[in-house]
Chains A and B, each alone.
Chain A
């Protein structure tokens, strides 16, 4: 159920995202999503790629600081109230969302949100209890 996401540290300066992205392109690794969290001086690039471990090894070998983190890909009905329903299912569980962002591609007619929870296993149980569908890595990347 858990999806491997690649997080990369970059300085907030012109040109600093190009080098890692170019490395991945040259290795034929497909970027399925890219989300940048930024501060005044630095940022964290969060990516879901076709081959997570290979991409991490490649970036590390080239001196980049990367980390593989586990996130969840959650199907959200693509209609008003879809996200509210999903978040409602988590309400009261005490599980915290560290961050979230929308996955750019729809899967099976549904929108997809990527979540990092402070306790992924508890989140999986809570979501499944509410009948909310989680995507596997294969489903997300097919």
Chain B
């Protein structure tokens, strides 16, 4: 049973009303909130204040929304350099939640939330789910990982606030996921799109036909996916597949989400102001041009992010969505401007692998990352060339080395990886430079 596509403001979920805000009101609200958040960061975050001082500007210089371009960017390295709490704008007594995701080297990046921040996060997820046609009465299985990762808890509270009955399965254990889905009559699921592909395949092996289940909506995110994956999912099940976007640095999932028109992802821009910039020069680009997405949190208290460089390449779509929402839309995220890999929804940087190998070996051995997809799940293998310095005649010593590298990578990356010791000079090189990543995942 599909919902009626025609949604009017009158019958939409009350939390969705801001989605339809008149543009003039929205821009005025954005400017007020931008001025307030810049002032808050200026007053409470030394790192940010120093950055403005270097440029000779103060919060008073923000007089129009376009003035946002005067502000310095925030980079992932700023979170790393101020680890763990250096960018907090609230004292710990006002913080009610901490999450962490992998950074570019050994230490994670930390994000924090006040009670009000959690409420905003929950509200944008309610708007996301409502935009997907979900409402109270739906049974939503949340197969995003619960824990430090923002996906699980974010989607959980959003779905509860919507009024759906949440089945908090977290990730893993496909057979149990399928059993509960069937036995509980689950109507909607949240997970990474590749995990859902795996569930489809596994269900077929178990003799469960997704087309005979009441499951009718899937809210998929935490990794880039494609239109061909959407077609595959919608052919193999009755699921209407929705793309949801978010990142921990900004809030988690719920920065933007597709509506039932599936013509791009609406950014909840009353809370997250989107810009597109040239990834090389940082110059702002007009709507309709492809570039790097830069986001500013307009209402975050505990950890305001001013002009955060997401490294995600997309564009802001021009024109209004036929659904009537005034929130601008971005295109699907297809690629990134840096070398970040997304493996089972987890962010991995080759530099993290380097820091681990360097620490264990004292020098950086030649290595390569091989990504494959087995049974719908991403697998990461790190091949490390054995150098004369590392080589030991005893099997146990080499296995010990392999185990130490594996344990350290698991610890730093937060995902299980395979480590293989390989012969020297066996790794692919292109134009004299080692090719570090081979991605054999096909979607």
Residue among B394, B422, B423 facing the most chain A CB atoms (10 A cut-off):
B423
Q: Is B24 an interface residue (CB 8 A)?
A: no
Q: Given the complex, which residues of A lie within 8 Å of B398, measured CB to CB? A: 9, 39, 42, 44
Closest chain B residue to A5, Cβ basis: B393
A11 touches B426 (CB 8 A): yes
- Taking a contact as CB atoms closer than 8 A, the residue among A5, A9, A116 that contacts B391 in the complex is A9
Closest chain B residue to A69, Cβ basis: B393
- Taking a contact as CB atoms closer than 8 A, the residue among B386, B395, B421, B426 that contacts A37 in the complex is B395
Given A65-B388, A67-B388, A69-B393, A39 and B399 touching (CB < 8 A)? yes
Q: Is A41 an interface residue (CB 8 A)?
A: yes
Q: Is A131 an interface residue (CB 8 A)?
A: no
Q: Given the complex, which residues of A lie within 8 Å of B425, measured CB to CB? A: 63
B422 touches A11 (CB 8 A): yes
Q: Is A7 an interface residue (CB 8 A)?
A: yes
B368-417 residues at the A interface, CB under 8 angstroms? 386-388, 391-395, 398-399
Q: Is A138 an interface residue (CB 8 A)?
A: no
A41 touches B421 (CB 8 A): yes
Question: How many angstroms from the CA of A34 to the CA of B399 in the assembled complex?
Answer: 21
Question: How many angstroms from the CA of A99 to the CA of B395 in the assembled complex?
Answer: 10
Q: Given the complex, which residues of A lie within 8 Å of B437, measured CB to CB? A: none
A9 touches B386 (CB 8 A): yes
Question: How many angstroms from the CA of A37 to the CA of B396 in the assembled complex?
Answer: 11
- Taking a contact as CB atoms closer than 8 A, the residue among A5, A10, A65, A98 that contacts B394 in the complex is A98
Q: Is B204 an interface residue (CB 8 A)?
A: no
Given A9-B386, A42-B398, A44-B398, A67 and B391 touching (CB < 8 A)? yes
Given A9-B386, A65-B386, A67-B388, A41 and B420 touching (CB < 8 A)? yes
Question: How many angstroms from the CA of A75 to the CA of B392 in the assembled complex?
Answer: 27
Q: Given the complex, which residues of B lie within 8 Å of A16, measured CB to CB? A: 423
**What's the tally of chain A residues with a CB closer than 8 Å to chain B?**
22
B393 touches A65 (CB 8 A): no
Q: Given the complex, which residues of A lie within 8 Å of B394, measured CB to CB? A: 98-99
Closest chain A residue to B385, Cβ basis: A65
Closest chain A residue to B399, Cβ basis: A39
B424 touches A64 (CB 8 A): yes
A93-139 residues at the B interface, CB under 8 angstroms? 98-99, 116
A67 touches B393 (CB 8 A): yes
Closest chain A residue to B423, Cβ basis: A11
Question: How many angstroms from the CA of A125 to the CA of B10 in the assembled complex?
Answer: 95
Closest-CB distance, A7 to chain B (whole angstroms): 4
A13-49 residues at the B interface, CB under 8 angstroms? 16, 37, 39, 41-42, 44, 46
- Taking a contact as CB atoms closer than 8 A, the residue among A5, A39, A65 that contacts B395 in the complex is A39
- Taking a contact as CB atoms closer than 8 A, the residue among A7, A11, A39, A42 that contacts B393 in the complex is A7
Question: How many angstroms from the CA of A60 to the CA of B389 in the assembled complex?
Answer: 13
A42 touches B424 (CB 8 A): no
B387 touches A65 (CB 8 A): yes
Closest-CB distance, B8 to chain A (whole angstroms): 61
Q: Given the complex, which residues of A lie within 8 Å of B422, measured CB to CB? A: 11, 42
B424 touches A116 (CB 8 A): no
Closest-CB distance, B427 to chain A (whole angstroms): 12
A46 touches B423 (CB 8 A): no
Question: How many angstroms from the CA of A69 to the CA of B395 in the assembled complex?
Answer: 14
Question: How many angstroms from the CA of A46 to the CA of B426 in the assembled complex?
Answer: 21
Question: How many angstroms from the CA of A69 to the CA of B392 in the assembled complex?
Answer: 10
B399 touches A65 (CB 8 A): no
Closest-CB distance, A46 to chain B (whole angstroms): 7
Question: How many angstroms from the CA of A11 to the CA of B426 in the assembled complex?
Answer: 10
Given A9-B423, A39-B399, A65-B423, A46 and B391 touching (CB < 8 A)? no
Closest chain B residue to A16, Cβ basis: B423
B393 touches A44 (CB 8 A): yes
Question: How many angstroms from the CA of A90 to the CA of B195 in the assembled complex?
Answer: 57
Question: How many angstroms from the CA of A67 to the CA of B424 in the assembled complex?
Answer: 14
With A42-B386, A42-B422 given, can you name 14 additional A-B contacts, CB distance below 8 Å?
A: A5-B393, A7-B393, A9-B386, A9-B391, A9-B423, A11-B426, A42-B398, A42-B420, A44-B398, A63-B424, A63-B425, A64-B423, A64-B424, A67-B391
Residues of B within 8 A of A (CB): 386-388, 391-395, 398-399, 420-426
Q: List 28 A-B contacts (CB under 8 A).
A: A9-B423, A9-B424, A11-B421, A11-B423, A11-B426, A37-B395, A39-B395, A39-B398, A41-B421, A42-B398, A42-B420, A42-B421, A44-B393, A44-B398, A60-B388, A64-B423, A64-B424, A65-B386, A65-B388, A65-B391, A66-B388, A66-B391, A67-B388, A67-B393, A98-B394, A99-B394, A99-B395, A116-B393
